[in-house]
């Protein structure tokens, strides 16, 4: 676990690493919030092309990028302009992680992460809940693996923050789940949530509030909406109207970032009209 957290600066979207700050539950709703995107690629686009396309469409550069590895991370740390990066990944066999079976690959990746002052976050294991429920590994195996990854980051990339990303459903009291079940003994730096509300203020407030309460209850110093979009059946017009609502609600609930799931994975959640691009671009400037 890193010994620093972040406090927001006056400049929109700017964050710096500082000494331990006041709990984010006390964060003023007027503070800036990072506006981000996932990087679904069209055709033969590279991830950089996809980032540049969104920058051009939105009229502003996304401030944080969610980058997902379906397996162990590899290659260079993904860099997109001045944006922060949130990397999430999985592992072929979670039960083998604590034994050091993947240490070579993980250490090789961690040691290449630049320490350039731009905040960097790693989340392991991406949404473990359903895998645990299906018996692919136990919750204790997951906790042990996450603790091992955290220790590797401490040793080889101490400037990087470590957290986990959970399903929005897990924060809902009706799920019967407890966030603390997935948290190792050593505290983590952040928690992220994947949440898909209806394109209404009521639904968004309810689901984001559940996640904020669960984050606060588990004593996380920082929480993010790591992936969000209104349900697939929503229209582009509804999405344009929903975007400012979502960012206002997230800010009021104490989240430090909202990453829009601009993707066709699991449905078509893309923003494809000028109204939607204007709405999310305006969120960056607000």
Q: Is the pLDDT of residue 12 over 60?
A: no
pTM of the model: 0.89
Digit-coded pLDDT (tens) for 88-137: 999 999 999 999 999 999 999 999 999 999 999 999 999 999 999 999 99
Name residues whose C-beta falls within 8 Å of residue 134's C-beta, 6 or more positions apart in sequence.
none
Average pLDDT of the segment spanning 1-22: 33
Which class in CATH covers the domain with range 5-285?
alpha beta
Q: How many CA atoms lie within 13 A of 244 on its CB side?
A: 10
109 token code pair: 């990746």
| Mean pLDDT value of segment 132-155 | 97
Q: Strand locations in 189-265, DSSP E?
A: 190-195, 223-228, 257-260
What are the Cα distances from residue 9, in Å, to 86, 155, 226?
A: 20, 29, 21
Q: What residue spans define the domains of the chain?
A: 5-285
Q: pLDDT tens digits, residue range 199-245? A: 999 999 999 999 999 999 999 999 999 999 999 999 999 999 999 99
> How many helices (H) and strands (E) in the chain?
8, 10
């Amino acid at each position: 676990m890193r010994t620093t957290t972040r406090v927001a600066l006056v400049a929109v979207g700017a964050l710096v690493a500082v000494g331990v700050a006041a709990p984010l539950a006390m964060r003023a709703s007027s503070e800036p919030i990072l506006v981000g995107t996932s990087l679904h690629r069209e055709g033969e686009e590279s991830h950089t092309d996809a980032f540049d396309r969104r920058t051009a469409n939105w009229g502003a550069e996304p401030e944080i990028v969610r980058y997902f590895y379906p397996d162990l991370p590899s290659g260079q740390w993904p860099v997109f302009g001045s944006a922060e990066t949130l990397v999430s990944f999985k592992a072929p066999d979670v039960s083998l992680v604590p034994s050091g079976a993947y240490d070579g690959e993980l250490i090789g990746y961690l040691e290449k992460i630049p320490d350039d002052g731009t905040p960097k976050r790693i989340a392991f294991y991406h949404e473990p809940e359903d895998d645990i429920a299906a018996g692919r590994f136990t919750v204790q195996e997951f906790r042990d693996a996450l603790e091992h990854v955290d220790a590797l980051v401490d040793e080889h990339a101490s400037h990087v923050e470590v957290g986990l990303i959970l399903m929005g459903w897990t924060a809902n009291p009706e799920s019967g789940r407890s966030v603390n079940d997935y948290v190792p003994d050593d505290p983590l730096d952040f928690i992220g949530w994947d949440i898909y509300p209806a394109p209404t203020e009521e639904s968004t407030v309810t689901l984001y509030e559940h996640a904020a309460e669960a984050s606060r209850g588990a004593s996380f110093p920082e929480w993010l909406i790591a992936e969000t979009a209104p349900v697939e059946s929503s229209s582009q017009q509804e999405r344009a109207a929903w975007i400012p609502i979502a960012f206002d609600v997230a800010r009021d609930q104490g989240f430090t970032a909202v990453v829009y799931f601009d993707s066709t994975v699991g449905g078509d959640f893309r923003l494809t009209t000028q109204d939607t691009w204007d709405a999310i671009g305006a969120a960056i400037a607000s």
